[in-house]
Amino acid sequence: MIRSVVRGYGAALPKRVVTNRELEDMVDTSDEWIVQRTGIRQRYIAGEGETTASLGEQAARAALDKAGLTPDDIDLVLVATSTPNNTFPATAVEIQDRLGMTHGYAFDMQAVCSGFVYAMATADLHIRGGMAKRVLVIGAETFSRILDWTDRTTCVLFGDGAGALVLEAQEGEGTNADRGILTAHLRSDGSHKDKLFVDGGPSTTGTVGHLRMEGREVFKHAVAMITDVIEGAFDATKTTADDIDWLVPHQANRRIIDGSAKKLGIPSEKVVVTVDLHGNTSAASIPLALSVALDDGRIKQGDLVMLEAMGGGFTWGALLIRW
């Protein structure tokens, strides 16, 4: 059977690092509170000329270099983002153009913090359905542009950045020993839509709006939703926590990551944590975390890697992949 196998990865971060201490001058907060409640120590914030498309392009070029491929080899550019450059056209076509591609197709996906898991699952369907042989899957965000910088309950949590993977169709045996995506589990429940949202939009206010979140409410649901889809992925592949080499979670809050890993029986040595470095970069957080763990040699070819995310909507999902 056809499998969607990772051939290359890349990441991009804005130039400017903003520490918790710097935020103390902007809102009534403290480094101690932010570190204790979230694990975040710093985040990257986009400056002039740095956009979701420019960061996405940079990450995509890095992923193509690692894969030894050029934009000519790509059939589909799929961008997970909730902070597109414009309402339309899709940031994916903007990146397609920046890469000099006039062939193939490109579109955006919006599932907030679960966007990268949704995009990987979608890319896998396009590959296994025969529509695309190679897909650039990009998670790119500039959440700093939708934050209310006077609201301490949200502005300390998020950051900007982008990450990308090149997925390629390869023949597999149809067993768990195959490289590539083995299973994907997506969920959403719109009855929670008012717990994490942006208070503006083209069809309502005609403005971009600002991010609003009932943090405690999101926190309350996060661990149960994350463990639910991961257990779904274990059941579908007849695997257990002992079989996986790495858990690469969406990086929202250290306490949510630790709580989910503990509930699933996954030891902390197998969990990739980068929330301290990047903050919550929404759809970019998983590919950014992957690139750190690939660069430092933790994740190697053949490793079994579980990706998971939960966010606005609520949306949530998990994806099991053999690297």
Q: Which residues are catalytic?
A: 113, 250, 280
Residue that has been written with the tokens 């890349």 in this structure? 10
Q: Does 152 bind ligand UT7 (CB under 6 A)?
A: yes
Amino acid, res. 188: S
Residue 87 corresponds to which tokens in the numbers above? 């309402």
Rounded CA separation 266/181 (Å): 20
CB of 265 vs ligand UT7, minimal distance in Å: 22
Nearer Cβ to ligand UT7, position 101 or 218? 218
Contact window for ligand UT7 (CB under 6 A) among 33-41, 49-57, 178-186, 290-298: 33-41
Taking CB under 6 A as the criterion, the residue among 104, 209, 215, 259 binding ligand UT7 is 215
Q: Does 216 bind ligand UT7 (CB under 6 A)?
A: yes
Residue 63 corresponds to which tokens in the numbers above? 């992923």
- The side-by-side arrangement of strands in the sheet containing 180-188 is 180-188, 315-322, 304-311, 246-249
Nearer Cβ to ligand UT7, position 79 or 156? 156
> In the chain, which ranges are E strands?
2-12, 16-19, 42-45, 76-80, 105-109, 134-142, 160-171, 180-188, 196-198, 211-213, 246-249, 304-311, 315-322
Chain residues 154-213 in contact with ligand UT7, contact rule CB under 6 A: 156
Q: Does 280 bind ligand UT7 (CB under 6 A)?
A: yes
Q: Does 37 bind ligand UT7 (CB under 6 A)?
A: yes
Taking CB under 6 A as the criterion, the residue among 29, 176, 237, 239 binding ligand UT7 is 29
DSSP 195-254: GEEES--TTTTSS---EEE-HHHHHHHHHHHHHHHHHHHHHHHT--GGG-SEEEE--S-H
Taking CB under 6 A as the criterion, the residue among 139, 311, 313, 317 binding ligand UT7 is 311
Nearer Cβ to ligand UT7, position 29 or 170? 29
Residue that has been written with the tokens 């899709």 in this structure? 90
Instruction: Give the residues lining the site for ligand UT7 (CB under 6 A).
Output: 29, 33, 37-38, 113, 152-153, 156, 215-216, 218-219, 222, 252-253, 256, 280, 311
